[in-house]
Structure 1
């Protein structure tokens, strides 16, 4: 018996009786995925689009002319791309204006400027500023213990970064806690792991029935400087001046476009990011690059003639940073149609080397999607163990898709090797030079493959009963 025939016989016997080769669930999508990857990696179109918007419009705070001008350009570009259903969805957003601001160390050793940024939503100081002794504390508990020392002083929370979720509470709630203790203003150490004398801004909240006092962020270096002065028994004095102003709400828009599904157009795969940013830097990692990656993924499907059975819709949401009103307007517009959503994907964790996606949803949904998508992402994802497991892992979502997820929609987030994200986050340093074109294009390819499969697969992904972001 010839060797080839013997091998064939052995192969057949291995399959019988009852032994059947399992079909590869990714196979029906392999040809489209190969085309997507080739097209996405052929040029730097997505990176170039990020660079154009960042350079032309700069920071895009809700309520600003820069945000609205950027949205005008984006909507025109979406139409030029040939996408369908292009529209600006109205959303009334807050308007907070920073104004002139400064912090100066007055004593004990002469006057020194302290780099700072007022926190979004803060009230202003009197025109002449507030000059007072600083009380440095390292936690809310320490402030409570030393509340009798806080009256009439500026409270500084010098809290080193652990995780964003743990540390950001001092930025959001610090002013209310300090005011309750009788402080005349409050400062917070910038929320980030490191920095070269770079302050971080961000949103904050006042407590109901508690006086509203000015609230600002110092650099890590500035906060530690004041702490060292206090530790040696001296009382630093700081003069804080802030011209912040909250103006009347202004109408903004979510930018929406789609490729309409060929069989089930009422069923949706939704993806996007938030187009607004803070008013410093260019908001590239937070979240312009995330917006463009999701937009370019949809454009790529259109350009390749890949019209899946379900509609793929990109939404660039307004006002994530200080209100989430764009996300809520989007959810409200869906009404009962939220049950028709196959999944929602958000890219809002910086755009570094892509690692995969995080998934939250009904039981079995992650496995259903991963079996079809993960084999198609080979070569696109970073597989370094330090970046976390590649592929589709448990746990995903985002602030803008949160309202949909709370109604059970499966939520995904783009995962990247973003160890430096909170170094740039909400700072003047979040600029285009921090972005790698290769990372952007690979993220476009991976995202386009995932949304194509999710929109084309015959199965519906299971909704949860009470998913959250």
Structure 2
């Protein structure tokens, strides 16, 4: 027994001596948030006390006040608001929709797309033309489309292991479907929800109208509803679809990015940003999209203060406003940085949900990516194996023009689009431990960039 104990102590001693200061620091970041983390409680406050926070809404302003007060309570060196003008779109009373076939009327779940116009007060009822893409729409031509509702029913590709690739392959119909449908005389557009899940939750999201075409009302239909509509069309091509929505666009509203920072001890003029977007769609609480990213970003700075880590460079947590339907916050922040001649060496964004961490997508030069790759052995023990080329993030994207290296936090993607832009994106959908692990992962990459630059 004594020999075994002595051997175990010797192995432990050797292991501790072999650990680098960086591995010890990263381990301390994970230990801190897993034992004392505040992300989950902050997320509860943001979702339950503030709630939905679409740009221009009272909820968005309440979120700004919450973020500012939260960072001030943590004693960051500086907390400030950066003004931005944002779109103001309101959904109005809940939408209505049904399929009429023969003497039957079947109610289906829909949600107006952000930026859409309303239907006439009594709604619209018309025949339906189903297409998978614009090429099919063009092949039909105006003769078969004029006066109809165009039903875009191209699903996300379920064979894509990365669900963000599947989303990217289908979302063009949501963004531009109304424009193409209107060119051929359609009176409305219905879009299959952007998810691989088969359920009754319609997924909203932004859309836009092209120049010179009529503005036709556009809504997302749940995947179950889309399947039913497609099935019934095959049985009765003369069926009609009715929908009513009451949305409107109002004048732009004043809002803010919320910024908190810890000043750098050696190179304070070099800035590392970590952030998420404070706004959310109005259907629910915006827990995964993107309450998770916001609270994780604040937690990165809190951890550093709690552990007495004095960064060499200035670390900023930025709560961006208006990612969902305009990107005014991200563009405004990049303009602010340029106007003030600020040097942002790196930016980290969390906007893919609060799920189990997998790694980071990196946008930069080949030399910068090679340097980040040298850190893989430090990050691998925490499940961060996917370190390499990839997207940074919508809000930090505008910073790339000034040479900033972008890091997009990559959690597991399989469940994200179950919740994305829906009424079920609530606090209860987020796992505390996964959320905390994400915050620590972001802190680890910020720590390494701060120590060694890029």
Give deviations 1:124-166, integer Å, cap 9, x for gaps.
Answer: 1111111111111222111111122111111111111121111
Alignment match, 2:75: 82
Residues in 1 aligned to 2:233 and 2:28: alpha-carbon distance in whole angstroms = 62
Q: Report if aligned partners of 1:285, 1:435 keep a CA contact under 8 Å in 2.
A: yes
- Corresponding residue to 1:422 among 411, 417, 426: 417
Alignment match, 1:320: 323
- Corresponding residue to 1:121 among 115, 120, 136: 115
1:260 aligns with 2:260: no
Q: Report if aligned partners of 1:41, 1:441 keep a CA contact under 8 Å in 2.
A: yes
Residues in 2 aligned to 1:378 and 1:154: alpha-carbon distance in whole angstroms = 51
Q: Report if aligned partners of 1:108, 1:235 keep a CA contact under 8 Å in 2.
A: no
* 1:69-468 pair list within 5 angstroms: 69-100=62-93, 101-147=95-141, 148-162=143-157, 163-335=166-338, 340-371=343-374, 373-381=375-383, 390-457=385-452, 460-461=453-454
Give deviations 1:278-309, integer Å, cap 9, x for gaps.
Answer: 11121111111011111101111122221111
Give deviations 1:15-35, integer Å, cap 9, x for gaps.
Answer: xxxxxxxxx9x9342332232
Residues in 2 aligned to 1:299 and 1:374: alpha-carbon distance in whole angstroms = 24
Q: Report if aligned partners of 1:380, 1:445 keep a CA contact under 8 Å in 2.
A: no
Give unpaired runs (5+ residues) of structure 2: 1-17, 158-165
Larger Rg: 1
Q: 1:177 to 1:302 in 2, by over 3 A?
A: same
Give deviations 1:229-253, integer Å, cap 9, x for gaps.
Answer: 2222432211211111101111111
Shift of 1:338: 6.5
Shift of 1:339: 7.0
Residues in 1 aligned to 2:240 and 2:168: alpha-carbon distance in whole angstroms = 30
Residues in 2 aligned to 1:397 and 1:338: alpha-carbon distance in whole angstroms = 22
Residues in 2 aligned to 1:103 and 1:269: alpha-carbon distance in whole angstroms = 47
Residues in 1 aligned to 2:393 and 2:287: alpha-carbon distance in whole angstroms = 17
Work out the number of aligned pairs and report it.
Answer: 427
Residues in 2 aligned to 1:69 and 1:188: alpha-carbon distance in whole angstroms = 32
SS in 2 for 1:451: helix
SS in 2 for 1:104: strand
Q: Report if aligned partners of 1:376, 1:449 keep a CA contact under 8 Å in 2.
A: no
Q: 1:447 to 1:338 in 2, by over 3 A?
A: farther
Q: 1:442 to 1:237 in 2, by over 3 A?
A: same
SS in 1 for 2:402: coil
Give deviations 1:219-238, integer Å, cap 9, x for gaps.
Answer: 11212222122222432211
SS in 2 for 1:131: strand
Q: Report if aligned partners of 2:37, 2:299 keep a CA contact under 8 Å in 1.
A: no
SS in 2 for 1:89: strand
RMSD: 1.7
Q: 1:321 to 1:247 in 2, by over 3 A?
A: same
Residues in 2 aligned to 1:47 and 1:182: alpha-carbon distance in whole angstroms = 49
Shift of 1:195: 3.1
1:40 aligns with 2:43: no
Q: Report if aligned partners of 1:339, 1:409 keep a CA contact under 8 Å in 2.
A: no
SS in 2 for 1:167: coil
Residues in 2 aligned to 1:302 and 1:271: alpha-carbon distance in whole angstroms = 15
Residues in 2 aligned to 1:43 and 1:27: alpha-carbon distance in whole angstroms = 24
Residues in 2 aligned to 1:427 and 1:450: alpha-carbon distance in whole angstroms = 31
Residues in 1 aligned to 2:247 and 2:206: alpha-carbon distance in whole angstroms = 13
Which runs of at least 4 in structure 1 moved beyond 6 Å after TM superposition?
336-339
What TM-score do the two structures reach when normalised by structure 2?
A: 0.91
SS in 2 for 1:136: strand
Q: 1:89 to 1:376 in 2, by over 3 A?
A: same
Residues in 2 aligned to 1:194 and 1:31: alpha-carbon distance in whole angstroms = 41
- Corresponding residue to 1:30 among 2, 16, 23: 23
Residues in 2 aligned to 1:336 and 1:167: alpha-carbon distance in whole angstroms = 37
SS in 2 for 1:269: strand
Q: Report if aligned partners of 1:338, 1:404 keep a CA contact under 8 Å in 2.
A: no
